Amino acid sequence: MGIEIPPSGTRGAGTPAVLNRLFAPFMKLQIAQYRRSKGEGQPRMMGFPAVLLTTVGARSGTQRTVPLGGFPDGQDAWLVVASAGGGRRHPAWFLNMAKNPEQVWVEVGHRRVRVRAMSLLGADREAALARIAEIAPRYAGYQTKTDREIPVVRLTPA
């Protein structure tokens, strides 16, 4: 099935472009901290389980890595939410994943795995969002900030 891209919204939370540029060094620091983390378990960031997702840029062809909430969904499967904090547009990593589905990797702790990404739809998506909101309540409010359907993606080893 793969990734389905729902339409962008007409409203949503936004981050000024200048802030995105200011956050870039912070994101690199977060990635470095994640990779230095000790222990066998899945690292946590902002109070919930995290993964590093690497995709290949839809236009640039360059590998990009972002830290995301990565919620275990059975053995060797994770859920990620393309919330963009409730923004009206989908995050770049989601569009990259859809454009280059064969070039997606996830890092969970010290393990890096090439993954297959699949959009969850309908009742499966709703159930996954409910499970995620139990672990990380902030995700419950993102859908109220935008009129686009926030994608939920299941990652499994390729």
Highest mean pLDDT among 3-12, 13-22, 83-92, 147-156: 147-156
pLDDT digits (tens, 9 = 90+) for 9-33: 999 887 666 666 778 888 899 999 9
Mean predicted confidence (pLDDT) in 103-130? 96
pLDDT at 18: 65
Mean predicted confidence (pLDDT) in 32-59? 90
Give the whole-angstrom CA distance, residue 108 versus residue 40. 10
Angle, in degrees to the nearest 10, between helices 138-145 and 122-135: 130
Exposure string over 84-110, b if 16+ CB within 10 A, otherwise e: bebbbebbbbbbbbbbebeebbbbbbe
Considering the chain, what percentage of its residues have pLDDT values greater than 70? Answer: 96
Q: pLDDT class for 67, splitting at 50, 70, 90?
A: very high
Q: pLDDT class for 78, splitting at 50, 70, 90?
A: very high
Instruction: Catalogue all structural domains in the chain, each as residue range(s) with its CATH number.
Output: 17-157 (2.30.110.10)
Choose among 103, 47, 42: nearest CA to 78. Answer: 42
pLDDT at 39: 73
Mean predicted confidence (pLDDT) in 122-132? 97
User: Is the pLDDT assigned to residue 59 strictly greater than 80?
Assistant: yes
Q: What is the DSSP letter of 59?
A: T
pLDDT at 70: 97
